[in-house]
Amino acid sequence: MVKNIFASSHLLTYLQDFDTSDSLSVGLVLGQTCDGKDYIVHMAKSPSLPPKKLRNLSDVNDLWLADHAKQATKMLSGGMYVIGIFVASETDLVTSFPTNLKAVLLQLSKSLSTEYLHGNTSSNEKIVINYCSKSKLVKCKLYDPIKSIVKPAEINFCDDNKWIRLECKYEIEKNYFWEEESPEMDLKEQMNVVLKDVRKNLKLSVILFDGEFKPEDECLELVGKQKKISKSERSSYENSNQDSRPIIVQILEETTDESSDIIIKDIKSQIKVVGQITSTVWMNPRASYKMASNAIVEDILRSLSTRLEMHWDSLIEEEHREDSNSIHEPPRRVMITIPGTEITVSDYLFPGEGAEEAKTSVEEILDIKLAGLPDEIQEVEGFIDITSYEGNISQIAEGKISKNDKEYSHKLFIIGLIFALLVLVVSIIVHSVLKNS
């Protein structure tokens, strides 16, 4: 059975614009798989592939292309993936499907199979699109690098693909403790503990869409038909497209009563993680609510793991030794709209960096040109005010305790004193009774 693949017509122009007279161009195909079909949202030529000019497929550096795929995936929202590659060449390179093309796709799949990146779809198949400038034809095939099976596919260029936007704000505020007898862990290992815990909590959470619990197998395209608008809201939406409004997603996590079983232990280190992750995902209308839930979870984990990895790499580059007591500020998320679409991708900026850095990064990795900064780069997460935490850090470093801790210790002392007095009174009464008897 031939698989159908859909792409916007401007992507055909993108392929036709490559100069294939004395070289070929290779890049990534980004999109989403839904309802047995693949939907392409963007194509990005790989930057500076060595050698500078690729004469044939044997010149393609599979490790370089795989690393490009990894960097591009970090910019994609949950539910979006590197679903394949394209080759623009003078001659047909996909009909025979040579061995070195299979090797490239195998390396691509391996590099995206990391724990929190969620780089591969549930299907192992990757798309290969070949534009042949000699015949002016676009050919497409699927390849499963695990089973080493090539399948036929048909690509359709059209402009009627629609997307539904889902938005979510996920808050994190939790303490992590390491006891005296626990194994030594560096900051990177401690970050992995945080990621593992966040993933576990998200998997066990309940996800609501516009405040409602939805059946997993129900399609998102029904949301416009089922959503009710009050009279006060109706007037404000008379001249707007109802489909353009995002679905607001809420994540309800299980809460536990930590005061029920208090255990006092000596700890050698602790990390307090505080913040909010802004999540925006784009789904095909035929996607189910289960797919949307998975995309939100993927987006949060992909974003958090990317930031922590960038933060850790920055510490290594600066040859920064980990202080025993310090405040770490991972990069914040900004959203960039892909020109010609409504789809947004992400970049991450460290404190002190601005829109210009995001513009340079996105243009290089995704091979797009941003005309202006203010309209295309959105600051979706506020800056962190770390002054409120500096006092607590200095108190810990000096061996001091907070006011709440002092009050709690004072209460414990009074309760202990009262209990001791009661024991003393009971002992005196018992002693008197025994003496008289």
Give me the DSSP letters along 266-298: -EEEEEEEEEEEEEEEEE-TT-BHHHHHHHHHH
- Judge whether residue 150 has pLDDT over 60: yes
More confidently predicted of 259 and 291: 291
- Residue 343 DSSP code: -
- Strands in 136-266 per DSSP E: 137-144, 149-157, 164-179, 206-209, 247-252
Choose the most confident range, by mean pLDDT, from 100-109, 381-390, 397-406.
Answer: 100-109
The total of other beta-carbon atoms located within 10 Å of residue 287's CB is 25
144: confidence class by pLDDT, cuts 50, 70, 90 = very high
120 C-beta neighbours (distance < 10 Å), count: 20
User: What value does the mean pLDDT take over residues 210-231?
Assistant: 76
Instruction: Decide the pairing of beta strands 126-132 and 81-89.
Output: parallel
Q: Which domains does the chain have, with CATH numbers?
A: 3-157 (3.40.140.10), 164-228+244-256+264-391 (no CATH)
Supply the mean pLDDT for the chain: 83
Q: How far apart are CA 190 and CA 89, in angstroms?
A: 47
Q: Pinpoint the alpha helices (H) of 258-377.
A: 289-317, 355-366, 373-376
Structure confidence by residue, pLDDT tens digits, 363-379 = 999 999 887 655 678 88
Among 55-64, 254-263, 356-365, 397-406, which stretch is predicted with the lowest mean pLDDT?
397-406
Please check the confidence at residue 287 and state whether its pLDDT lies above 90. yes
Mean pLDDT, rounded, for 221-250:
61
Task: Give the max Cα distance, the chain.
Answer: 117
Q: How many CB atoms lie within 10 A of CB 323?
A: 10
pLDDT in tens, 156-201: 999 888 999 999 999 998 888 888 777 888 888 888 999 999 999 9
Torsion of CA 59, 63, 65, 69, to 10 degrees: 170
Tokens for 70, please give them.
């990894």
Model pLDDT for residues 313-348, shown as the tens digit of each residue: 888 766 555 556 778 788 999 999 998 899 999 999
The whole-number pLDDT of residue 183 equals 81
Select from 136, 92, 108 the least CA-distant residue to 29: 108
Is it the case that residue 94 has pLDDT exceeding 50? yes
Taking residues 77-82, report their average pLDDT: 96
Q: Confidence band (pLDDT; 50, 70, 90) for 269?
A: confident
- The structure tokens listed for 246 are 């995002």
pLDDT at 401: 44
- Percent of residues, the chain, with pLDDT higher than 90: 53
Please report how the helices 355-366 and 62-75 are oriented relative to each other, as an axis angle in degrees rounded to 10.
140
